[in-house]
């Protein structure tokens, strides 16, 4: 008995000691929390439906920015932004600094990823209408952040001072002269100054490592503040289940989710860097620069290709820049252009098709720019390629909409679909024929191809005279168009019959019974 009593007392003592430690730890935690505000809920809880990578493209772009900051800071320990030392110090980083080449490679590829992620974030927002009430200003701030991101690319490209980077930057600086005088003067003051190449390099460096990061961080803070006010935009399709409406605390749950995405992104960057390490190009000299065709990095290739179109050469440069600026301004002011209540993709065919054309044109221009360095593009070719792309995308998308868009008749409601405010709106009964939709869009694509080839053939025949191969080409494309029209006609007739039978109060079954009786 006595022994048992002793054991009990010993056990109690251990428990009390543990309790005292716990209390002390808790007291310490409470002290730190109260003095630093560490546990103050800085960010609102996040709904479970947003645990989806598409909601975090912007956050991943910030992750890329952080990686840029860390790797950039390491490189800044060795880099000297002067015309004499820029190339040699970059070379030193590549050859003599621990993990130098790896740092340079990661810095470059993460910059590419940051631009791509920012673009994807913007286009996703465009398609799912995040720019609509009450997030108009958020959209505009995000757009400015996108331009700042492009600014990082532009200013960073010059810094290694290789022949390619310097020539491409010179093209960009040359373009600034074509801006309206006040803007040209401002741009000149900001990036070139009066000290020639030396001051230009120094200013690019300052913009790259001080001004632009500061501006981006400030804009990020503003955007985060607005995100806290408005919350995450709800998905535009379907209705949310109770489970998905549940919220998760930002720490640790959402932070862990973001870390999960960040490490997957990081692994991607690591592997690409390991597989394709970059090499430093030759140093810039005026002689070496004269021997190459200046070519910007891929994210500016679309603009470069527009400027290479014959009509925009030299005298037409301001027109091209005005056009590109107009696109940017339209994107910034999008919340005031696309104002309707409809948020769903299916209810906004006009803007969705415009968005698809925008993406297709950017891809076509960039790819085209890549394979035609330094070549002037004839006006007619430009009209054919760019017009053809727009036409093909428009017709293909129109085909998709024609096949899947709910109409009163197809929905079986007898009325046109009402606007759908976010998630709470009526759920449309979509026409279920997905294969029919795909078939129709394929047909529209082929039709557009037929139109494109026939227009091109006619233009070629007008320009170079009628030749047998061109006639054969024209006939083949005309046959393709006829085949497409026939198939489309038959397909639509079949759909029409199905819809009519679906809408008929006397269904097939009932009609069968009546006939039988």
Binding site for other proteins (CB under 8 A): 48, 51, 96, 98-99, 101-102, 248, 253, 256-257, 259-260, 263-264, 266-267, 270-271, 273-274, 277
Q: From CA 199, how far away is CA 405, in angstroms rounded?
A: 57
CA torsion through residues 171, 173, 174, 176, sign: positive
Q: Which is nearer to other proteins, 98 or 435 (CB)?
A: 98
Q: How far is CA 45 from CA 30, 162, 470, in A?
A: 22, 48, 64
Report which DSSP code applies to 345.
G
Q: Which is nearer to other proteins, 103 or 357 (CB)?
A: 103
Q: Which two tokens stand for residue 351?
A: 């803007």
Least separation in angstroms between residue 262's CB and other proteins is 8
3-state helix, strand, coil in the chain (%, to 5): 75, 0, 25
Least separation in angstroms between residue 280's CB and other proteins is 13
Q: Which is nearer to other proteins, 57 or 403 (CB)?
A: 57
On the CB side of 370, how many CA atoms lie within 13 Å of its CA? 9
Determine the longest span between alpha carbons in the chain, in angstroms. 118
Q: Which is nearer to other proteins, 35 or 243 (CB)?
A: 243
Q: From CA 190, how far away is CA 512, in angstroms rounded?
A: 80
Q: Which is nearer to other proteins, 193 or 249 (CB)?
A: 249
Q: How many helices (H) and strands (E) does the chain have?
A: 21, 2
Which position has the token pair 């007008």?
462
Q: Which is nearer to other proteins, 260 or 504 (CB)?
A: 260
Q: Which is nearer to other proteins, 21 or 73 (CB)?
A: 73
Least separation in angstroms between residue 108's CB and other proteins is 14
Beta-carbon contacts of 413 under 8 Å, excluding residues fewer than 6 positions away, are 429
Report which DSSP code applies to 248.
E
Least separation in angstroms between residue 474's CB and other proteins is 51
Least separation in angstroms between residue 241's CB and other proteins is 13
Q: From CA 161, how far away is CA 319, in angstroms rounded?
A: 30
Q: Which is nearer to other proteins, 97 or 436 (CB)?
A: 97
Q: From CA 372, how far away is CA 118, in angstroms rounded?
A: 27
Contact in structure between 428 and 417 (CB atoms under 8 Å): yes
């Amino acid at each position: 008995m006595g022994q048992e009593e002793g054991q009990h007392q010993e056990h109690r003592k251990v428990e009390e000691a543990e309790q005292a430690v716990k209390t002390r730890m808790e007291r310490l935690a409470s002290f730190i929390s109260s003095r630093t505000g560490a546990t103050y809920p800085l960010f609102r809880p996040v709904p479970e439906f947003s645990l989806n990578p598409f909601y975090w493209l912007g956050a991943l772009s910030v992750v890329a920015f952080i990686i840029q900051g860390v790797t950039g800071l390491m490189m800044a320990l060795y880099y000297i932004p002067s015309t004499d030392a820029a190339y040699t110090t970059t070379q030193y980083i590549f050859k003599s600094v621990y993990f130098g080449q790896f740092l340079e490679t990661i810095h470059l590829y993460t910059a590419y990823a940051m631009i791509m992620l920012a673009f994807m974030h913007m286009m996703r927002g465009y398609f799912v209408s995040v720019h609509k009430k009450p997030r108009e200003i958020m959209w505009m701030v995000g757009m400015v952040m996108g331009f700042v991101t492009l600014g990082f690319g532009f200013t960073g490209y010059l810094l290694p001072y290789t022949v390619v980077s310097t020539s491409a930057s010179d093209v960009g600086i040359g373009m600034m002269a074509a801006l309206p005088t006040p803007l040209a003067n401002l741009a000149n003051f900001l990036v070139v100054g009066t000290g020639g190449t030396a001051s230009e390099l120094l200013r690019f460096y300052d913009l790259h490592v001080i001004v632009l990061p500061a501006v981006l961080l400030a804009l990020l803070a503003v955007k985060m503040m607005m995100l806290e006010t408005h919350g995450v935009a709800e998905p535009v399709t379907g209705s949310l289940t109770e489970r998905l409406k549940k919220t998760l605390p930002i720490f640790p749950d959402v932070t862990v989710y973001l870390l999960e995405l960040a490490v997957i992104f990081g692994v991607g960057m690591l592997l690409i860097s390991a597989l394709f390490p970059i090499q430093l190009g030759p140093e810039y000299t005026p002689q070496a620069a004269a021997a190459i065709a200046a070519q910007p990095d891929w994210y500016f290739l679309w603009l470069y290709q527009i400027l290479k179109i014959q009509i925009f050469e030299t005298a037409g440069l301001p027109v091209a820049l005005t056009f590109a600026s107009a696109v940017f301004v339209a994107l910034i002011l999008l919340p005031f252009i696309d104002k309707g209540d409809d948020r769903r993709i299916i209810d906004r065919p006009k803007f969705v098709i415009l968005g698809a054309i925008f993406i297709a044109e950017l891809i076509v221009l960039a790819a085209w720019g890549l394979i035609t360095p330094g070549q002037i593009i004839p006006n007619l070719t430009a009209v054919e390629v760019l017009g053809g792309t727009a036409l093909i995308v428009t017709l293909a998308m129109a085909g998709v909409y024609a096949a899947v868009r709910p109409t009163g008749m197809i929905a079986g409601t007898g009325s046109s679909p009402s606007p759908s405010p976010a998630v709470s709106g009526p759920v449309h009964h979509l026409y279920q024929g997905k294969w029919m939709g795909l078939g129709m869009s394929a047909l529209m694509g082929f039709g557009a191809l037929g139109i494109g080839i026939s227009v091109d053939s006619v233009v070629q025949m007008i320009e170079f005279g009628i030749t047998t191969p061109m006639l054969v080409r024209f006939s083949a494309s005309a046959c393709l168009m006829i085949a497409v029209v026939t198939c489309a006609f038959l397909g639509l007739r079949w759909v029409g019959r199905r819809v009519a039978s679906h809408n008929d109060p006397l269904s097939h079954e009932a009609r069968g019974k009546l006939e039988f009786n």
